[in-house]
Amino acid sequence: MRSTDADARIAGHVFRDPALLAQALTHRSAGAPHNERLEFLGDALVGLIVAEALYLRWPKADEGAMTRARAELVRESSLARIARDLDLGARITLGPGEMKSGGHRRDSILSDALEAVVGAIYLDVGFEACRGAVMPWFEPHIGALPAGGIGKDPKTRLQEWLQARQRPLPAYELLSEGGEEHARIFHVRCVLTEPTLTAEGSGSSRRAAEQDAASAALAQLESTKT
């Protein structure tokens, strides 16, 4: 069912216009009005709110460190985790096909719904109140990051290691993918030609699997001191 005045509350925010929350929690598979336009707005707002928080809290961090931290905080799996904390999945209106396939558990649908909710809160009460409602969702995750930022991801570090030695960049091969639609597992191989080396990794997305494989490749390089 779509949200009504009786349940127009999300994580402490009570909507003045319950229709905004209803739209934010309506997937396109359920028909119009759905949440894609609100998601577009919310995506920009989440990026701004998180960027501002990092800028204010890490006065000595450089642009690269803050960019990496923001990317970690706003990526699909991170937003989906927050959506699960808010129990958004149980409230999303889906079409019959998505309901049958377990769409309410899928990271992409959950993260999109979270962004749409942020966009809806902004339209409901403006930026200042929106930031006040949204920041508590991100506080624990910002606090869990190393002070001053996080290091470069394994794929970037591997690429820089090879470039510094004027060696060919790695290739990543998808070996397999499987599991339920809402819990996919990807297996990837990282292949280097100079030095000759292969490493494998797995993750809940191809990107995560490639990062895992790159990390394994770096571990091999460090152990052999090539």
Structure-block tokens of residue 161: 């290691």
CB 124 within 8 A of CB 20: yes
**Residue among 43, 98, 107, 212 flagged as catalytic:** 43
Give which of 182, 183, 200 is closest to 191, Cα–Cα.
Answer: 200
Structure-block tokens of residue 106: 């899928």
Distances, alpha carbon 145 to alpha carbons 31, 42, 54, 142, 183, in Å: 39, 23, 10, 5, 25
Tell me the C-alpha distance between 217 and 220, whole Å: 5
Distances, alpha carbon 89 to alpha carbons 10, 79, 173, 186, 204, in Å: 12, 12, 33, 23, 18
The reply, when asked if residue 181 is annotated as ligand binding, is: no
Structure-block tokens of residue 90: 């149980």
**Residue among 98, 115, 210, 212 flagged as catalytic:** 115
Tell me the C-alpha distance between 73 and 65, whole Å: 12
Q: Give catalytic status of residue 36 as yes or no.
A: no
The reply, when asked if residue 222 is annotated as ligand binding, is: no
Q: Give catalytic status of residue 222 as yes or no.
A: no
The reply, when asked if residue 87 is annotated as ligand binding, is: no
Q: Cite the active site residues.
A: 43, 115
Annotated binding site: 39, 112, 115
Query: Residue ranges for the binding site for Mg(2+)?
Result: 39, 112, 115
